[in-house]
Amino acid sequence: MTAITSKVCVVGDFAVGKTSVVERYVNNHFSEKYLTTVGVKVDTKEVDLADRGVQNKLIIWDVAGTDRFGDTEFAYLRGAAGHIFVADGTRPLTVGTALQLHKDIEARYGLAASVLLLNKHDLGGAWDVSEQRINDLRTEFGAVFLTSARTGAEVENALACLANLIVDNELAARQ
């Protein structure tokens, strides 16, 4: 079994549910209370990719919400093997923010494994991202997940997808 330790950064606009997604993934817990993240919150989670013979320890950096990065935020992202971009499906502007952050990170650090989470999918009535837009995002971004930190829907799948993408890159780099 190969052991990998990967730094993963969770980024996106404020109040899109980044901390809730991580909390759901790491501790399988959800809180209705909105608590602003200042700086960065670091958690770890081990992902057993048994079918690939890889144990991937994810060190997850939950970065404070922002619509643009300064030097402080870019410093947090140094050495990341993957990124989780989170947007709020009830606030379409946050989707644009996620895409812009993705471009900025790529310009600064180059390509890395990435997934896009359109979160709060449980809020059906307030959901404001059309099917057409989602299809366009899938074409543009690749791995797009309609998640709910509240119910846990698709959170595990999104992180498993990212872990696999990181392993793909890692194994490719070793060869």
Residues 133, 87: Cα–Cα separation, whole Å: 13
Q: Which is nearer to another protein, 20 or 154 (CB)?
A: 20
Query: In the bound complex, what is the minimum distance in angstroms from residue 82's beta carbon to another protein?
Result: 12
Binding to another protein in span 86-105, by CB under 8 A: 91
Binding to another protein in span 120-149, by CB under 8 A: none
Enumerate the β-bridge partners of residue 48.
Answer: 55
Q: Which is nearer to another protein, 154 or 163 (CB)?
A: 163
Q: Which is nearer to another protein, 78 or 138 (CB)?
A: 78
Q: Which is nearer to another protein, 68 or 78 (CB)?
A: 78
Query: In the bound complex, what is the minimum distance in angstroms from residue 60's beta carbon to another protein?
Result: 9
Q: How many residues does the chain have?
A: 175
Query: In the bound complex, what is the minimum distance in angstroms from residue 139's beta carbon to another protein?
Result: 27
Query: In the bound complex, what is the minimum distance in angstroms from residue 67's beta carbon to another protein?
Result: 10
The single residue listed with the structure tokens 């993963």 is: 8
Burial class (CB in 10 A: 0-12, 13-18, 19+), 94: buried
Q: What CA–CA distances, in Å, run from 20 to 80, 130, 148, 152?
A: 20, 24, 9, 10
**Interacting residues of 65 by C-beta distance below 8 A, sequence separation 6+:** 12, 13, 14, 15, 16, 18, 36, 37
Q: Which is nearer to another protein, 59 or 134 (CB)?
A: 59
Binding to another protein in span 27-86, by CB under 8 A: 34-44, 59, 61, 64-65, 72, 75-80
The single residue listed with the structure tokens 């922002």 is: 66
Query: In the bound complex, what is the minimum distance in angstroms from residue 84's beta carbon to another protein?
Result: 15
Residues 57, 118: Cα–Cα separation, whole Å: 24
Site residues for another protein per CB under 8 A: 5, 7, 14-15, 34-44, 59, 61, 64-65, 72, 75-80, 91
